[in-house]
Chain A
Amino acid sequence: MANIGLYIELKEGVFKKSNRELLSLARKSGQPVHAVLFCPDVQPYLEELKGIQTVIQVQGADLTYQPDRYARTLAAVIHEFKLDIFCGIFSAQGKDLFPRLAAKAKASLVNDCLAVDLDTRKAIKPVYSGKLLAEYQIDASTALFTIRPNVIAVETTTATKAPEIKTVALDNGELQTKIISVEKSASKKIDLTEAEIIVSGGRAMKGKENFTILEDLAKVLNGGIGASRAAVDAGFASADMQVGQTGKVVNPKLYIACGISGAIQHFVGMKTSKIIVAVNKDPEAPIFKKADYGIVGDLFTIVPLLKKEFKKVLS
């Protein structure tokens, strides 16, 4: 028997949808599952946490994310609850928190997993920007894994048993790495790494102002907006929108590439998308070899038509 711990990530109190993937993975193992939440009240989340053994609520006066504080608290939880395996989401916070936890809990960590076998502690993760897959096995007594969003099928549980709630106190030791403020983006953008639909633009967008047509399309689909490196380097889009080898790795259900030629560096950032659609004027563009569906045509004609058609069928 192995005790499995999960770090349930809350974003300003909102339960991140990728937590459901962690819960599905853990419930399937048949092992006792313990979910850790940093929040003043666990009630709003209990419906999501049915069928697991324990909910560990971390309480404190100020539960704002501070990496040192969170890592020390979780290391203490791992020790106290004798957790053998601990998993989280491969999110911006997960990337910051889990390596710190690995060091403090004397555990070993594999990040960005596409599949994890909790019995054998084996995990598959992309390496060389996804050009290859690596299978790792953790031999350390405590194994940590972070899981890429949108890869594990979410299964709803039939369990009705409410978990037992236990509380622990937030560590209040010294902060070496201190977050002094958080600046929110002026526009409320959809997180690309968790987005189900992404509309992305390349060099052929010709200018920053033209991204509005992609925004219009993304709005209809409730999707995020990405860009190729060429578009970012040309100043059409901001660096946080870049998808690819030196940008974000995304994994949506639907990726619509507009005016993107499809260089390998871009492709590795979106190749695991379930469906890739390419819109490009050049019938020889490499993107058509990688896309599930393609339309050869001017994006300035096609994108507005797409918006109209999606709007019609989705309304």
Chain B
Amino acid sequence: MNFVDFQEVLVNIYVCIKQVPDTEASILVKDGRSINEAAIKWIVSPYDEYAVEEALKLKEKNPGSTVTAVCLGPERVQNALRTALAMGADRAVHVEGNAALDYQNTALALAQVIRADKEFGVIFMGKQAIDDDAYQLHILLAEELAIPAATNVTAFAFENQAVKVEREIDEGAKEMIEMAVPCIVAAAKGLNTPRYASMMGIMKAKKIEIKKITLSEIGIDESQNRIRLLKLSAPAEKPQGRVIPGEAADAVRELVRLLREEAKVI
């Protein structure tokens, strides 16, 4: 890797995002291995929104730097990139493909695209995408790029040419981490409050041309997967419970009795 000096370090900020079904969407299984996309409203994965916001904040503090949003997926994910652009990202790269890549292959694809794009500084991502909930892509990408990574980050600072982050570990405890740039920062809730796109931002985003690279161009497909999805299924629903009638004191006494004698949880 070339030596990246202080001035250049922050020039190219990246943010990797994923398009996922809306948090309120009901998810139905189709053909046992995929989901029915017909009625789904797509959004930018919530943790990735924190990542976009933090990238934009870093850019604002460092004039001259740019934010590039990267997203892998079929044609529809261009909407997610438009959202990032409308929030304030300067450029967008669409890695196009329908392939269901495993985590390692996804990291490999993103690494190739980012490496070939520009000299990268800080790469922001969400700590997990709320569809496959894999909790590992950010670290796999960092390992692929041979750079450090911190996950579950709730505070970020860039001082003295290094990145300092705070990450939540067990209940309330925090780890302070120091990393050189380039590095990957995976955002958690609490890092910031993502901005809404302004009308002007939305208009501006429409005019920006999205750079497109296909998975076949970089030679990555499902045949290299080492994790196979065998089946998707809906979990068993709990039978409807019961409301305990009566005056407050009686209901409470009955509830505690049921928890002890019937449910046996206390």
Tell me if A116 counts as interface (CB < 8 A to partner B). Answer: no
* Chain B, 23-61, CB within 8 A of any chain A CB: 23-24, 26-27, 29, 35, 46-47
Count of A-B residue pairs with CB < 8 Å: 241
Tell me if B243 counts as interface (CB < 8 A to partner A). Answer: yes
* Chain B, 138-175, CB within 8 A of any chain A CB: 138-140, 143-144, 147-152, 154, 168-175
* Chain A, 206-260, CB within 8 A of any chain B CB: 221, 224, 238-240, 242, 245-247, 253-254
Q: Are A177 and B149 in contact (CB under 8 A)?
A: yes
Tell me if B231 counts as interface (CB < 8 A to partner A). Answer: yes
How many chain-A residues does the 8 Å CB contact rule pick out?
A: 89
Tell me if B198 counts as interface (CB < 8 A to partner A). Answer: no
Q: Are B168 and A137 in contact (CB under 8 A)?
A: no
Tell me if A305 counts as interface (CB < 8 A to partner B). Answer: yes
Question: Which residues in B have their C-beta under 8 angstroms from that of A274?
Answer: 263, 265
With the chains together, A103 CA to B141 CA distance in Å?
Answer: 9
Tell me if B119 counts as interface (CB < 8 A to partner A). Answer: no
Q: Are B252 and A182 in contact (CB under 8 A)?
A: no
Q: Are B238 and A292 in contact (CB under 8 A)?
A: yes
Segment with Cβ contacts to A, from B3-11, B74-82, B126-134: B126-134
Question: Which residues in A have their C-beta under 8 angstroms from that of B23?
Answer: 129, 245-246, 264-265
Question: Which residues in B have their C-beta under 8 angstroms from that of A98?
Answer: 136
Q: Are B260 and A313 in contact (CB under 8 A)?
A: yes
Question: Which residues in B have their C-beta under 8 angstroms from that of A104?
Answer: 143
Of the four ranges (under 10, 10 to 19, 20 to 34, 35 or more), the interface on chain B belongs to 35 or more
Question: Which residues in B have their C-beta under 8 angstroms from that of A182?
Answer: 169, 173-176
Question: Which residues in B have their C-beta under 8 angstroms from that of A134?
Answer: 132, 229, 231-232
Q: Are A306 and B252 in contact (CB under 8 A)?
A: yes
Q: Are A293 and B179 in contact (CB under 8 A)?
A: no
Tell me if B266 counts as interface (CB < 8 A to partner A). Answer: yes
Tell me if B2 counts as interface (CB < 8 A to partner A). Answer: no
Q: Are A295 and B168 in contact (CB under 8 A)?
A: no
Q: Name the one of B133, B149, B169 contacting A93, with C-beta atoms under 8 angstroms.
A: B169
Q: Are B136 and A139 in contact (CB under 8 A)?
A: no
Tell me if B180 counts as interface (CB < 8 A to partner A). Answer: yes
Q: Are A295 and B252 in contact (CB under 8 A)?
A: yes
Tell me if A176 counts as interface (CB < 8 A to partner B). Answer: yes
* Chain B, 207-266, CB within 8 A of any chain A CB: 225-235, 238, 240-244, 248-249, 251-253, 255-256, 258-260, 263, 265-266
Apart from A177-B179, A240-B190, A265-B23, list 16 A-B contacts with CB within 8 A.
Answer: A91-B170, A111-B134, A111-B136, A127-B131, A130-B235, A139-B226, A178-B148, A181-B175, A264-B24, A275-B265, A277-B259, A288-B243, A293-B243, A297-B248, A302-B251, A306-B252
